[in-house]
Structure 1
Amino acid sequence: MKTLFLTFLFLLSLCTNAQIVEASTTIATNEYMDLLTANLELPKEVTEKYANQDIELTIVLTITKDGSVFNPKIQNDSLQLEPYLKKAVETLPKWNPKTEDGNPVVSRKAFKLIIPILYAIQEDDLAMKANPEGGMQGYYHNFMRKVNVDKYLDDEATVSGIKMIATFVVEKDGNLTNIKIIESNEPSLNSEIIRVIKSMPKWNPATENGVPVRSDFTLPIKIKFNR
């Protein structure tokens, strides 16, 4: 009888565990993180200090019963980026909340977020220099998502990372012309980078006294692999 009772408790616990469904994103998790990174507008002093470096953050999201994110946190927020994180999260889709026995409950999720700070541009220069719609940080994130590197690279390249410099002309109407790669440690990828630059939206042209002008632009490119 005792054995039968223990067996019953074991089976009951299995049924209870089977009725717990963890919170999940309504879009692919990697796409959610990409959107979060792209929408995270960092203050000028941070982008200037950490230009061409990666910032690694541990974020904690509280998922409410209706799937919204409440009061997102950053562990050890020495850079004081939590207000910027909260603003970025507000623009993202809701989650599927965690459920217990079919009932939604509050839960927490922790993630590592790596933010590449690839370029720093002075705000005062934006009035005169050409710049992409949405700013350089957003441009780089969208750019990297479009690059297909796997079929071009060897094992050595994936270890050392890709560093190259592209140049182009931003025309008065915002179109990009005369795209070239002037420096590259992985020439096999040059044509792919040029293809992606051509596929990106128009830029805001440079201006002089408020009038659009044709201008040259130099774009440093850094691709880091986590393999």
Structure 2
Amino acid sequence: MRMLGLTSRYSTSGLLMATIMTLLAWGFSSAPEAARQELRSQTQLRVTTIEVSPPVTVTHSDNRRTPPLYPACSDQPDFQQRKACADKAMLEYIYEHIRYPKEARDAGAEGMVVVRFTVDARGQTGIPVVIKSPHPALGTVSLKVIQRMLRRTAVWEPARENDTPVATEFNLPIQFKLN
């Protein structure tokens, strides 16, 4: 007797995996709502802050590698001064344009959002992607601000390895805190 629709072991295992994933999703989707309700009942007034930290540069002893820089302060001859000025200008832009989403604040969500984009050897920026977010609303608001920033400043100073421009990924961490 032949069973309709399940003609191979791959179909059967796929159906089994889909069932397990559905059951796991149901179990995990109810837990955060209970935690949110508990946080709402305990929370009276919270002050919100957003911290943005410049990315960390790792260098090898053999190669001299510098990160890509936000297009500000290009008149500075020294790289360290240019980097400090560029990081400050980028952080000022983000602080000016980012807002703590009400949905995330009401849910008690806080933590670090990391947005990644590429900067090629010519300084052209790629499409930003949220690679880590403690709450969907925090990731969405961060992504929108970074997209706006990259549209405004599409050409960056590219990363360099041994004084040669190279393509690299840029990870921008944005910390959301409820106080």
Normalized against structure 2, the TM-score is what?
0.49
Structure (1/2) with the larger helix percentage: 2
Q: Which has the higher contact order (CA 8 A, sep 6+)?
A: 2
Normalized against structure 1, the TM-score is what?
0.40
Structure (1/2) with the larger strand percentage: 1
